[in-house]
A and B are shown apart, each in its own frame.
Chain A
Amino acid sequence: MNTAQAGTLESMDCLVTVSQTAPGVGVKIKITGSSAVRFKSAMEKKTAEVIASMGVKDIDVSIQDNGALDIVLGARVEAAVKRMMGGDK
């Protein structure tokens, strides 16, 4: 299984871990951390949007949040997925 990470646990950041899963499993998102309770649905939506825009259909995403804004979350998810796909240096 191909796994990759991006981000940190610093303030206003998040650590995103992604793992490629078998075809047909779909997108699974797990969020923990400081904003997980209040903003979970918004964060899930943003994560799902980024993953869909990258054409990925089967993936496990785990987000450890430390107050990341939408913009940061999107960047970290994109970076983690790109690393998983091996498409970026």
Chain B
Amino acid sequence: MRRTMLYLPGNNPNMLTRGYLFGSDGLILDLEDAVAMSEKDTARILVQHFLKQGEFGDCEVTVRINGIDTEYWKDDLAAVVPFPALHGIRAPKVDDATTVKIIDEELSIIEDKNGIPVGQTKIFCLLETAKGIWNAYDIASASPRVAAIIPGGEDLTADLKTSRSYEGTELEWARRMMVFAARAAGVDPLDTVFPRVTDDAGLRKEMEFVKQLGFAGKSVIHPNQIPIIHDVFKPTELEITKALKIVEAAKDAARRGQGAVTVDGRMVDIPVVKRAEYTLIRAGLLEVK
């Protein structure tokens, strides 16, 4: 599950040490925007030491590298990819499939050099420009490494020559596009951060909206946002009861060699079973396959 992925500034030992304790599904050790230009080297070394020896609990660990238009990105990859604690990298400003392919090739070189199965390191793509959003499906399907696509917030708004509104009107189309592109490519659509860290009601409202659109999770910039997002993703008792009934009926049908069955007067076929299983995963009653 990727309901919440918490950003941790890459040059902040306090957050890197305690980050996994806040209960997010994933962590993003940030070497990009959270790190001053003068500290890119020290942050990279610090993050590397944490990947080597740090504690991350059950979190999916990713590192946001610097963009491929900077002098840092290859050094970032070389520093973090060799360590088993790393699941993937979050690539900023992905505008097109070519960007993904460039990163993919560099990852393959590093993996091969370090005896890691080529293709193991996932890529989480940040689409922070209008061009990136427009190319969303091409990006999402550019490499089997792509695990998720994420729309930008501030950068995208700036590129659209508008400003960030309370309602998020300017991001609405991009968000819908993300869900369609991601689902079509078989990767996760993950939402951008909610910047107002003390506005719990606003976060809940936005989260309910993006969950309804089909997003699988959200990037998080403050630990206090995690329980609110998890709560929105939590299925209701009624949904859980219904899901348990459906999954049980499907198992029973499989045992009897039948395809579709009926539960409470409704036909249960594979998509319905899949949705029910996803409900149980979110409720913590079923392991992710």
Contacts and interface: CB of A to CB of B under 8 A. Distances in A.
Interface of A: 6-8, 10-13, 68-72, 74-76, 78-79, 82-83, 88-89
A75 B41 contact: no
30 contacts: A6-B45, A7-B42, A8-B11, A10-B12, A11-B14, A12-B13, A12-B14, A12-B17, A13-B13, A69-B13, A71-B52, A71-B53, A71-B54, A72-B17, A74-B49, A75-B42, A75-B45, A75-B46, A75-B49, A76-B46, A78-B49, A79-B41, A79-B42, A79-B45, A79-B46, A83-B41, A88-B41, A88-B45, A89-B72, A89-B75
Contacts of B52: 71
B221 to A, nearest CB: 18
A33 to B, nearest CB: 14
B48 interface: yes
Contacts of A76: 42, 46
B245 interface: no
A89 B205 CA distance: 43
Given A75-B45, A78-B45, A79-B46, A68 B13 contact: yes
Contacts of A89: 40-41, 71-72, 75
A78 B50 CA distance: 13
Contacts of A13: 12-14
A83 B38 CA distance: 11
A76 B11 CA distance: 10
A75 B72 CA distance: 18
Contacts of A70: 53
Interface in B31-76: 40-42, 45-46, 48-50, 52-54, 71-72, 75
Nearest to B12: A10
Contacts of B14: 10-13
Contacts of B48: 75
A82 B13 contact: no
Most buried by B among A70, A82, A88: A88
A71 B48 CA distance: 10
A10 to B, nearest CB: 7
B50 A6 contact: no
A72 B13 contact: yes
Nearest to B71: A89
Contacts of A11: 14
Nearest to B48: A75
A76 B12 CA distance: 12
Contacts of A79: 41-42, 45-46
A70 B54 CA distance: 10
A77 to B, nearest CB: 10
Nearest to B75: A89
Contacts of B42: 6-7, 75-76, 79
A3 to B, nearest CB: 16
A43 to B, nearest CB: 14
B48 to A, nearest CB: 7
A51 to B, nearest CB: 14
